[in-house]
Structure 1
Amino acid sequence: MRGARCRGIGCIAGTHQISIPCCKGSMARNVAWCIAGIVCIVQLWAQPQPAPQRKNDSLRHREATAVVRSPIRELQADLDALLKNRELAAAHIGICILSTETGEYLFRFNDGKAFIPASLLKLFTTAAALELLGPDFRFTTRVYLDGRIRQGGDFEGNIIIRGSGDPTWSESFGTPPDSVFAVWIRALDSLGITTIKGNIIADDSYFDAVRYGPGWMWDDFVMPYSPPVSALAANDNCVQLLIRPGADVGDPATVSVLNGNGMIKIVNDVRTTAIDHTPELIPYRDFGSSTIELHGTIPLPTNTSEGGLNLSVPVENPAAYVAALFRDALDRHRIRVRGSVMTATDWGEPILYSRLPVLAEYTSIPLRQILTVMNRTSHNLCAEMLLKTIAKENSGSGSFAAGTEYVSSVLQRNGLPSEELSMSDGSGLSRLNLCTPSLVARLLWHLWRSRFRNDVLSSLPRPGEPGTLRTRMIGTLAERSVAAKTGTLNNVSNLAGYVTTRDGEVLSVVIMTNHLLVPESVARNLQDLICMRLASLTRR
């Protein structure tokens, strides 16, 4: 057709592209071109096509593992999910998890923020005591004679007890005070002394006269966990009271002082209630007073019990308490004391110990064993006495302030940032104490790599064993994998220590929760779940 144009015919056969151009001219020539093109296409289609390339095994493996499993990322995702607990939305939470082997941080959450550590502070006291006193350090308390022995067994003069900061004269440490006094009484017996015509003087001047830490709560002073701190201590500086119900509902209860008679005065306002009532005892004491007011109720006894309750309350003057307990022990042994019981401050005259003979001395268990009791039971008085002993042994000043300075120096010496710690006491009772989870984790990392590893590890509470973790994580993988210190105050619940993973890797773990508006059990549950997850961790 004149003037007509036709579009090229194109096709793809295999990898070949064939173009059949348009042409002008005779019909015969066009037909020839078309036939030739068709023949070419048929020939190409007739050629054998290459088989599809089979992917080799290595390529398929690479594609299948394009998303590599990361145990640490899975761990972090799981911990993030635990932190979304709505009950803890208002709480201040900080977490730091660090590998003791590699120094790698596995998880961090608010770990640079400041938290109230509560009894986690005992870890810092532990570190300083081990480094500055040594795990084999022992306390020695000496008794001096200031007078003369006369014929007939009379001793004319004073017996002086010189305290050295020993916190172990209590059932908490398996050393009741009477076992200490027995050593001294045997020495008196060996000299034939049957009467003391003088005073029993207790000298606690090894420490300063400040008995309560900065930032302690005044309403805690009547509680057994915050007794006054002194260089002489017995029965954790507490007297034991036995409260029994009256004969009928409404009758006043009876209160007996089981040890340290005369050290406190009791004002009894406890009433007897019906059998099915819950007992409630509320002690109260004005600051500096030796008078204890007891309020509350106690139910009538059942057929199977006498219904008595024991209550521990702190004494106001620990040194005088020790002297009174020793006098009572002498009386039971029929050694009469004709003088008074007093402190060195009451005596008021300088005591020249270098000129006085030593009657007897008592040496404590080693520090490593003391730390075990302190950390497992969270023994506050012990921690405070250790803090002041650290200062006294190294500077001559047995004070809270000097002790905290030495703890800071230990941190600095070991490359730990002391600026992340504000320390006011040794036990963690003070609300002025602050530290970061990161610092606690790094302290644990340092202790794990130090020569004190075994001493620290053996001192920490464990699930199912006597101590503050006795009832936690029982029957889980974490039960045999956790060794950690607890820290508790009102609205504060913390946990810090070591968790061993399924691979045997030891992690330094710190979980701090402050500003709790829910029961402490909610925070403890979070801590337990984190420890259980870490105990199941494997990097394989």
Structure 2
Amino acid sequence: MPRRFAPRAAALLLACAALGCGVSLPLTAQARVKAKHPSVNVTTVLPQPVMVGLQRAHIPLSSISVVVEKVGDRTPIVALNAGKPMMPASTMKLVTTYSGLSILGPDYRWRTSAYADGTLDANGVLHGNLYIQGTGDPKLVPEELIDLVQKIHKAGINGVEGALVLDKRYFDASTRDLPPFDDDATAPYNVGPDPLLYAFKSLSFTLTPSPDGSVAVDVLPALSQLQIDNQMRAVNGPCRGDAASVSPTVTPQPNGTVVASFTGDYSVRCGPRTINVAVLDHSAFFAGGFLALWQQTGGTFSGTTREGAVPVGARLVATHQGPVLSDIVRDINKFSNNTMARNLFLTIGATEERPPATPEKSARAIEAFLRRDSIDMEYLTLDNGSGLSRDEHITALSLADLLQRANASPVAQVFVESLPIAGVDGTMRNRLTNQGAGGNAHIKTGTLRDVRAIAGYVASADGNSYVVVSLINDPHSEAARAAHDALLEWVYQGPSQGFTKVSDPVVEPRSSKPRKNPHKRAAH
């Protein structure tokens, strides 16, 4: 079983100060022995490869904050602008997921329940309303929702003559219909939270051209009210253009149907292409998805859909339990899913302060937990818990504190394993693939306009494990990926050996023999 990151007993290399390496030693990180350690703000140079990367990206040292520590030793080896509040982008998900795992427990499951009123005749037709009550399941996808549909059938209901009523009181109404983060309103990453979030409120259209000039359009998930108007033509010639050029126009119709129209030419050379588009509002999307599955399994429906509360006298018909939280957290961190993170964030508020959930309740609950967990986050500002915000802030030192505490916590294994592995999976799968840090670092990434961030753990070649946090807030941050990769590689090579050795740009080639999981090696 994978074990936690744990450093070997080793003292900090004080001789590095004589090399002019700019390491923040115990004397220059006095805030670590103070209660208010966010006041640390040590201005230092960084390892040479990192400095080169920053210079090429035209990013000044004032725009970056960095903390590097041995796991188990909260005295920074490197501390640059460590106490400066910064926008963390998606590294804020570390706060939400660690808090969620600790407060709710790794085995927590969301419930989506069906209730009925009225009478059920001998043919299984419900002469009354069918109610669906949601609690914010972040992964209520078709493969999960079909379980609820089948359980309703097993309860004897095969048709509904009343209304399909959606009970969404678990989240406050103020959390709904929020403006998108940016101008791309149809981007799935802009989808907001909802108690009945279904398939991330997004459709996946797959276009497949044929030599006969036709273009097949397939869609997932199915929506009962969706119609496809396909006027695309497959043509010869080079594959040009981006997904926007073949994205559908989605238009609600007066009769309640929704038409997705595809027009234009599509090159055969492009091959199959999948386009993800967020459409409709959450209630219309869920109702369409539920009824599509209902009808596919032989169910009939002749009523209308609306929102409303489950009445006191309604009887429980079926309950679906979603995946365990440990699986949800893995999806959130590996793939940086904003919508799932926001649903988890609100769930924390609902469970700790009772529903309906609000961002304020969730922020209070998380901040209270962090205080109980002895994590000082004086400058923490929470908005939606996903990092898709310009109002969320944290310091690199606070994030390092959280990573240290998480590694020593009962949820350490689940938390660490949820982070992307450099060169292997998630948002880090294409990074450091041919360098030593590849396969040896669990790193959460974060990217917004003017923001680039990394935070996580590195198992180094010297046998130690390190916490690494770096947050960049600068107009040129998009060009700073090389600097962050250089920092991770420097830590992998072993910062305890000093700056002069690791600044050598020559990297020892990786052995052709597969390397064992470093996190198993470095844990207990």
- TM category (shorter chain) comes to 0.7 to 0.9
What secondary structure is seen at the aligned counterpart in 1 of 2:276? strand
Deviation at 1:97, TM superposition (A): 0.9
* Paired position in structure 2 for 1:161: 132
Distance 1:475 1:281, change over 3 A: closer
Aligned to 1:332, which of 255, 272, 296? 296
Matched, 1:219 2:183: yes
Percent identity between the two aligned chains: 24
Alignment of 1:262-281 (within 5 A): 275-281=237-243
* Paired position in structure 1 for 2:365: 406
* Paired position in structure 2 for 1:495: 454
CA contact (8 A) 1:211 1:229 kept: yes
* Paired position in structure 2 for 1:88: 57
The superposition leaves residues 281-339 of structure 1 with CA deviations (integer Å, 9 ceiling, x where unpaired) of 336999x999899899753213xx7x443222223322332222221112112221121
Kindly name which structure, 1 or 2, has the bigger radius of gyration based on alpha carbons: 1
* Paired position in structure 2 for 1:474: 433
Aligned to 2:74, which of 98, 103, 122? 103
Matched, 1:429 2:388: yes
Matched residues, number: 454
CA contact (8 A) 2:454 2:470 kept: yes
Q: Aligned partner of 1:188: which letter?
A: H
Q: Aligned partner of 1:226: which letter?
A: N
Matched, 1:237 2:201: yes
What secondary structure is seen at the aligned counterpart in 2 of 1:351? coil
RMSD, aligned CA:
3.4
Deviation at 1:266, TM superposition (A): 8.2
* Paired position in structure 1 for 2:160: 196
CA contact (8 A) 1:132 1:390 kept: yes
Structure 2 residues without counterparts, runs of 5 or longer: 1-13, 24-44, 498-524
Aligned to 1:527, which of 484, 488, 492? 484
The superposition leaves residues 133-173 of structure 1 with CA deviations (integer Å, 9 ceiling, x where unpaired) of 12221111111121211123322111111101111123xxx
Matched, 1:318 2:245: no
Distance 1:284 1:311, change over 3 A: closer
CA contact (8 A) 2:131 2:310 kept: no
Deviation at 1:466, TM superposition (A): 2.5
CA contact (8 A) 2:160 2:301 kept: yes
- What is the rounded CA distance, in whole Å, between the counterparts of 1:72 and 1:246 in structure 2? 65
Alignment of 1:370-519 (within 5 A): 370-396=328-354, 397-517=356-476
Matched, 1:209 2:177: no
CA contact (8 A) 2:65 2:470 kept: yes
Deviation at 1:524, TM superposition (A): 1.7
- What is the rounded CA distance, in whole Å, between the counterparts of 1:108 and 1:513 in structure 2? 14
Aligned to 1:130, which of 95, 101, 104? 101
- What is the rounded CA distance, in whole Å, between the counterparts of 1:501 and 1:386 in structure 2? 33
CA contact (8 A) 1:243 1:309 kept: yes
- What is the rounded CA distance, in whole Å, between the counterparts of 2:262 and 2:20 in structure 1? 55
Structure 1 residues without counterparts, runs of 5 or longer: 1-66, 171-176, 345-349
- What is the rounded CA distance, in whole Å, between the counterparts of 1:279 and 1:336 in structure 2? 43
Aligned to 1:536, which of 493, 511, 514? 493
* Paired position in structure 1 for 2:145: 180
Deviation at 1:363, TM superposition (A): 0.9
CA contact (8 A) 2:92 2:386 kept: yes
Deviation at 1:260, TM superposition (A): 4.4
Deviation at 1:267, TM superposition (A): 9.5
Deviation at 1:274, TM superposition (A): 5.8
Deviation at 1:537, TM superposition (A): 0.8
Higher relative contact order (CA 8 A, sep 6+): 2
Matched, 1:359 2:278: no
Distance 1:295 1:87, change over 3 A: farther
Deviation at 1:269, TM superposition (A): 10
- What is the rounded CA distance, in whole Å, between the counterparts of 1:339 and 1:276 in structure 2? 49
CA contact (8 A) 2:147 2:320 kept: no
Distance 1:291 1:95, change over 3 A: farther
CA contact (8 A) 1:71 1:537 kept: no
Distance 1:74 1:362, change over 3 A: same
Matched, 1:259 2:218: no
- What is the rounded CA distance, in whole Å, between the counterparts of 1:97 and 1:200 in structure 2? 54
- What is the rounded CA distance, in whole Å, between the counterparts of 1:342 and 1:271 in structure 2? 39
CA contact (8 A) 2:88 2:394 kept: yes
Q: Aligned partner of 2:130: which letter?
A: I
- What is the rounded CA distance, in whole Å, between the counterparts of 2:274 and 2:416 in structure 1? 33
Deviation at 1:94, TM superposition (A): 1.4
